[in-house]
Amino acid sequence: MLWTLLGALAVAYLLLLIALTVFQRRLLYRPDANLPPPAHFGLHGIEILKLTAADGAPLFAWYAKPNRPDGFVVLYLHGNGGHIGYRAERLKRMAAHGWGVFLLEYRGFGGNPGQPTEHGLRLDAQAGLDAVRAMGFPAERILLWGESLGTGLAIGLAAEHTVAAVLLESPYTSIARTAQSHYPYVPAIWLVRDRFDSLARMPRLCAPILIMQGALDRVVPTWMGKALMKAATAPVELWIAPQAGHNDLAPAGATEAAADFVSRHCVPLIKDPSP
């Protein structure tokens, strides 16, 4: 009976490993496939822009202009769930600081066709940055803001392109290590296909970096933010909200912390008109 029980447990464990391997992208990506109208989320005066990723995937973005011609614009790369409509309040908070906001929607999210993968989302993020630059924004006016899953995309872009600053909300060292922390009883670190290895790319960033974390985060271990900070070679700061978790950093003051960081680390854009 002991050998029978051990055999049954082994089979059950093997089936668990197979299920986690086959369905891992369903666990990682939680898109809302509905097309979000800006007005439904209390946003008015928003431009809906269409763009195309390098592999032909059609995408769209919400765009709010900065309140002055020489202002910053935020390329916002959201997390693994919902769609950009769920980030409407974040857009409002950023616009209140005078920033423009380019809120990109990924493939498979918000009515876009396709299935999200790391490779695909990296193409989407690149298309977003290309679109922002095509609108006439120079590198010193572009802020990259990554939220959770999107921090890996922001770090990837900043490792290859010059920007004004990189603002990371609830960042991880890699999705593989995050998965391992949630599934310690399986070799998750070896099973994950979409790895989003931010720690490896962190030393390549040149722009100032702000890491924002909630002390009560139960999704991404807080030690990961400190590990990213240690790996950075660019100027970096860590901001921690003591009473916040993973998804409530914005009401805890993250936008204000980011605005303060940008004001101290980014070159002022207003130039003295006098000769």
- Reported pTM: 0.92
Residue 273 covered by a domain: no
Domain count across the chain: 1
Looking at residue 13, its pLDDT comes to: 63
Residue 191's pLDDT is 87
Q: 23 in a domain, yes or no? A: no
| First and final C-alpha spacing in the chain | 92
Q: Is residue 3 part of a domain?
A: no
Residue reference for tokens 């009473």: 243
Contact 99, 125 (CB under 8 A): no
Answer yes or no: is 199 within a domain: yes
CATH number at residue 179: 3.40.50.1820
Q: How large is the average pLDDT for residues 9-24?
A: 70
Segment 163-185 shows an average pLDDT of: 94
60 strand-pairing partners: 50, 105
Share of the chain above pLDDT 70, in %: 91
Considering the domain boundaries, does residue 70 fall inside one?
A: yes
Q: What is the average pLDDT value for the chain, to the nearest integer?
A: 92
pLDDT in tens, 112-135: 999 999 999 999 999 999 999 999
Confidence band of 273 (pLDDT split at 50, 70, 90): very low
pLDDT of 269: 46
Q: Is the pLDDT of residue 1 over 90?
A: no
- Give the three-class secondary structure for 64: strand
Specify if 17 maps to a domain.
no
- Domain containing 133 equals 36-265
Instruction: Say which amino acid occupies 105.
Output: E
Residue 97 has pLDDT above 70, yes or no: yes
Q: What is the pLDDT of residue 272?
A: 36
pLDDT band at 26 (very low <50, low <70, confident <90, very high): confident
pLDDT of residue 7: 67
> Does residue 123 belong to any structural domain of this protein?
yes
Find out whether 58 and 50 touch, Cβ atoms under 8 Å: yes
In a domain? residue 111: yes
Q: What is the dihedral angle through the alpha carbons of 224, 225, 229, 230, rounded to the nearest 10 degrees?
A: -30
Q: pLDDT digits over 187-219, tens only? A: 888 889 999 999 999 999 999 999 999 999 999
